[in-house]
Amino acid sequence: MTAEILAATEHLVLRRMTNDDAAALAAYRSDPVQARYQSWETPYPLDSARALIAQMRNVRFAQPGVWLQIGIETSGRLIGDIAVRVDGDQARQATVGFTLAADAQGHGYATEALRTVISLLFTEHDVHRICADCDTRNHRSVALLERIGMRRGGSPPQVSLVER
Ligand X SMILES: CC(C)(COP(=O)(O)OP(=O)(O)OC[C@H]1O[C@@H](n2cnc3c(N)ncnc32)[C@H](O)[C@@H]1OP(=O)(O)O)[C@@H](O)C(=O)NCCC(=O)NCCS
Residues making contact with ligand X (CB under 6 A):
34, 37-38, 97-100, 105-111, 132, 134, 138, 140-141, 143-144
Q: Which is nearer to ligand X, 62 or 150 (CB)?
A: 150
DSSP element (H, E) containing 28: helix 22-29
Q: Minimal distance in Å, beta carbon 58 to ligand X? A: 26
**CA 21 from centre of chain:** 15
Nearer to ligand X, 121 or 134 (CB): 134
Three-state secondary structure call for residue 42: coil
Nearest residue to ligand X, scored by beta-carbon proximity:
108
Q: How far is the CB of 143 from ligand X (least distance, A)?
A: 6
3-state DSSP of 77-94: EEEEEEEEEECCCCCCEE
- Ramachandran category for residue 26: left, alpha or beta (phi over 0 → left; psi -120 to 50 → alpha): alpha
- State the minimum distance, in angstroms, from the CB of residue 163 to ligand X: 14
DSSP type of residue 64:
B
> Cβ closer to ligand X: 44 or 109?
109
Q: Which runs of E-coded beta strand occur in the chain?
A: 5-8, 13-15, 68-74, 77-86, 93-100, 129-135, 151-153, 158-163
What's the closest the beta carbon of residue 125 comes to ligand X, in angstroms? 21
**Smallest gap from residue 15 Cβ to ligand X (A):** 17
Q: Nearer to ligand X by C-beta: 110 or 127?
A: 110
Cβ proximity to ligand X, 1 vs 83, nearer residue: 83
